Amino acid sequence: MFSFNIRNLKATNVTKIILVLPFTFIYLNTMKAKGNFETLAIRTQSERSKEKEHSTALHLTSSYAYENAEEMKNIFSGEQQGNLYSRISNPNTAELIEKICLMEGAEDGIATATGMSAIFTALAGVLENGDHVLACRSIFSSTNTILTKMLPKWGISYTYVDVDDTKNWQNFVQENTKVVFIETPTNPSLDIIDLEWLGKFSAKNNLIFMVDNCFATPYLQQPIKYGANIVIHSATKYIDGQGRVLGGLIAGDKILIDKIFGFSIHSGTAMSPFNAWVLSKSLETLAVRMDRHCENAFKLAVILEKHPKTEQVKYPFLESHPNFEIAKKQMKQGGGLISFVVKGGIEGGKSFIDKLSMISISANLGDTRSIVTHPASSTHSGLTDEEKLELRILPGLIRMSVGLEHVDDIIADIEHALK
């Protein structure tokens, strides 16, 4: 058994010790955080080096050096605090983890290489052979692949439930159900799931409640307040916010994070220190960026809703959204994504994006640059028509990530392409 401190953050005075048992990790956290969301995002910082740099230094190192054999022995045995290896801990990833925990109201967290590695690591870390997962039917395509193709290889089954059919969820709980996994808003159909209801449902059935909070970000929605046990992010999206790096984050109950961390360090899902440095700097501007994403998206959604060439415009804060009231209850603003159907089927969708002149055609979202995706001909083209319909992917569906360009320019480009 050995222990070491992975975090040493001046702003929050964190003392975090991991006691490493063969495959178990126990964190002792004495963190005392103060301040508002924006302040925590900016002022949470790892200790300055002797250079006294104002902005966090980049600790681009795979391992750490020790003064002598005795020091290394002491750090490995836990008698002395220190880093062992960057697959386990690094000052840049520690700072990022600390921030996301403060923003989500989580006890502890883990940084991973991508959003998908966060999802896989969280599920694999808590599930055992024979377990069952309950998940919302409309879900990100790679998460769908993990649930339907990968986890079954290890004897883990799943059931999809409809997001609006909450009355029925109880009927799908089995004796071996362990996890409820959802995203809200969902990708790409922007369905909204009632976190408060699901939090109570999960607690009543003794289920681990996991939420992919990638579309909302902790600035707009904090699922832990509603009873989520684990919150997951593709940090590649709004947390970076500028389309530069990949990353994933897991935050939640300490006892679960300990288990997931065990899986993470041995399977090697760690985030690169460079990406952690970029993402931690990005979090400093998350609030201001999200305010503008939401403002631009709402203005555009109102215009799209009235446009004769579009139908089924979905934006969580439009009154026409089927779950508008729930969105208002659990989200601070409606987010930066809009989904809408361009009339004319698959060809209508393709010709619309071909006529755009400024807005990018890309698979990413959450960028400063506005982006459109036509799921039926790209991200979801491998699915059968029946599968697409189940995920609410209509032929003319467009997912738009509204960026931070001037809103008049975004609107002008969309209106021109719809002519």
Ligand X SMILES: Cc1ncc(COP(=O)(O)O)c(C=O)c1O
Given the rule CB under 6 A, which residues bind ligand X? 114-116, 140, 142, 183, 187, 212, 214, 234, 236, 246, 248
| C-alpha span between 109 and 187 (Å, rounded) | 24
CB of 370 to ligand X, least distance (A): 16
Helix ranges (H only) for 225-319 are: 254-267, 273-283, 286-306
CB of 279 to ligand X, least distance (A): 11
Contacts (Cβ under 8 Å, ≥6 apart) of 88 = 6, 265, 270
Contacts (Cβ under 8 Å, ≥6 apart) of 245 = 235, 236, 274, 275, 278, 279
Nearer to ligand X, 215 or 298 (CB): 215
CB of 244 to ligand X, least distance (A): 12
DSSP state of 207: -
CB of 149 to ligand X, least distance (A): 16
Residue with tokens 């200790």: 47
CB of 113 to ligand X, least distance (A): 8
| C-alpha span between 373 and 377 (Å, rounded) | 9
Residue 21, CA atoms < 13 Å, CB-side half-sphere: 7
Residue with tokens 């995706």: 373
| C-alpha span between 346 and 388 (Å, rounded) | 12
Nearer to ligand X, 258 or 367 (CB): 367
Angle at 417 between CA 416 and CA 419, to 5 degrees: 65
CB of 200 to ligand X, least distance (A): 24
CB of 240 to ligand X, least distance (A): 9
CB of 291 to ligand X, least distance (A): 21
CB of 182 to ligand X, least distance (A): 10
Which of 263, 254, 307 is closest to 29 using CA atoms?
254
Q: Per-residue DSSP letters for 132-195?
A: EEEEESS--HHHHHIIIIIGGGGT-EEEEE-TT-HHHHGGG--TTEEEEEEESS-TTT-----H
What is the number of other CB atoms lying within 10 angstroms of the CB of residue 317?
A: 18
Q: CA 120 → CA 114, 212, 297, 377, distances in Å? A: 10, 12, 31, 26
Nearer to ligand X, 173 or 220 (CB): 220
Q: Which residue is nearest to ligand X (CB)?
A: 115
Dihedral sign for Cα atoms in the order 195, 198, 202, 204: positive
Nearer to ligand X, 7 or 233 (CB): 233
Residue type, 6: I
Nearer to ligand X, 84 or 220 (CB): 220
Nearer to ligand X, 248 or 349 (CB): 248
Nearer to ligand X, 4 or 263 (CB): 263
Strand, helix or coil for residue 400: strand
Burial of residue 23, with CB atoms counted within 10 A of its CB: 0-12 exposed, 13-18 middle, 19 or more buried? exposed
Nearer to ligand X, 46 or 184 (CB): 184
CB of 210 to ligand X, least distance (A): 12
CB of 236 to ligand X, least distance (A): 4
Nearer to ligand X, 109 or 115 (CB): 115
Nearer to ligand X, 218 or 348 (CB): 218
Nearer to ligand X, 116 or 331 (CB): 116
Q: CA 141 → CA 116, 164, 174, 293, 380, distances in Å? A: 10, 20, 25, 24, 7
Dihedral sign for Cα atoms in the order 375, 381, 382, 386: positive
